[in-house]
Chain A
Amino acid sequence: MRPGLVIAVLALVLLAASLASLGLGRYEIPALRVVRILLSGIVPSDIGLSEIERNVVFNVRLPRILTAICAGAGLALCGAALQGVFRNPLVGPHIIGVSSGAAFGGTLAILLSGSQSLLLLLAFAFGVLSLLMVYALHALVGRRDMLALVLAGVIIGGFFAALVSLAQYLADTEEKLPRIVFWLLGSFATADYDKLRLMLGPVVLGGLLLMLLRWRINILSLGDDDAQALGISVAGTRWLILVLIGLIVSAQVAVSGVIGWVGLVVPHMARMLVGPDHRPLLPASMLAGALYMVLIDDLARTITDSEIPLGILTALLGAPIFALIFFRSQRGGRGHV
Chain B
Amino acid sequence: MSEAVVPEPMIVIARAGHSYDGKRWQYRGLDLAVARGEVVAVLGPNGRGKSTLLRSIVGLNRPTSGTIRTNGPVGFVPQDFSTPFPYSVLDIVLMGRARHVHALKVPGRRDIAIARKSLAALDIEAFAERQFDSLSGGERQLALIARALASECPILLLDEPASALDLKNQDLVLGFIRRIAGSEGLTVVFTTHQPNHALAVADRALLMGEGDRTLIGDLASVMTESNLAALYHVPVRMIGYEEEGAELTTFAPTFRSQLERARSLGSANEGEP
**Residues of A close to B98: CB separation below 8 A:** 216, 219, 227, 230-232
Chain B CB within 8 A of A213 CB = yes
- For window 263-303 of A, CB contacts with B under 8 Å fall at 271, 275-277, 279
**Residues of B close to A215: CB separation below 8 A:** 101, 105-107
A277 to B83, CA, bound (A): 12
- Verify A232–B59 contact, CB threshold 8 A: no
Q: Distance in Å from the Cβ of A114 to the closest Cβ of chain B?
A: 43
Chain A CB within 8 A of B84 CB = yes
Q: Report the nearest B residue to A225, measured CB to CB.
A: B60
A336 to B87, CA, bound (A): 11
Main secondary structure of the interface of B (DSSP, over half): loop
**Residues of B close to A237: CB separation below 8 A:** 103
- Verify A213–B104 contact, CB threshold 8 A: yes
Q: Distance in Å from the Cβ of B229 to the closest Cβ of chain A?
A: 34
**Residues of B close to A330: CB separation below 8 A:** none
Say which one of B31-39, B73-81, B164-172 lies at the interface with A. Answer: B73-81
Interface residues contributed by chain A, number (CB under 8 Å) = 31
Chain A CB within 8 A of B225 CB = no
- For window 87-116 of B, CB contacts with A under 8 Å fall at 87-88, 91, 95-96, 98-99, 101, 103-107
Chain B CB within 8 A of A172 CB = no
Chain B CB within 8 A of A334 CB = yes
- Verify A232–B103 contact, CB threshold 8 A: yes
Chain A CB within 8 A of B86 CB = yes
Interface residues on B, range: 20 to 34
Chain B CB within 8 A of A212 CB = yes
A222 to B73, CA, bound (A): 19
- Verify B78–A226 contact, CB threshold 8 A: yes
* B interface with A by C-beta (< 8 Å): 55, 58-60, 73-74, 76, 78, 81, 83-88, 91, 95-96, 98-99, 101, 103-107, 151
Which are the 3 A-B pairs with shortest beta-carbon distances?
A276-B85, A231-B99, A212-B104
Given pairs A277-B88, A336-B86, 16 additional interface contacts (CB within 8 A): A89-B84, A215-B107, A216-B98, A216-B103, A218-B87, A219-B95, A222-B95, A227-B98, A228-B59, A229-B59, A230-B99, A231-B73, A232-B98, A275-B86, A276-B85, A276-B86
Selected A-B contacts with CB under 8 Å, 30 pairs? A87-B83, A209-B104, A212-B104, A212-B105, A214-B106, A215-B105, A218-B91, A219-B95, A219-B98, A221-B83, A221-B84, A222-B83, A223-B81, A223-B83, A225-B55, A225-B78, A227-B98, A229-B59, A229-B74, A229-B76, A230-B99, A231-B98, A231-B151, A232-B99, A237-B103, A276-B87, A277-B88, A277-B91, A336-B85, A336-B86
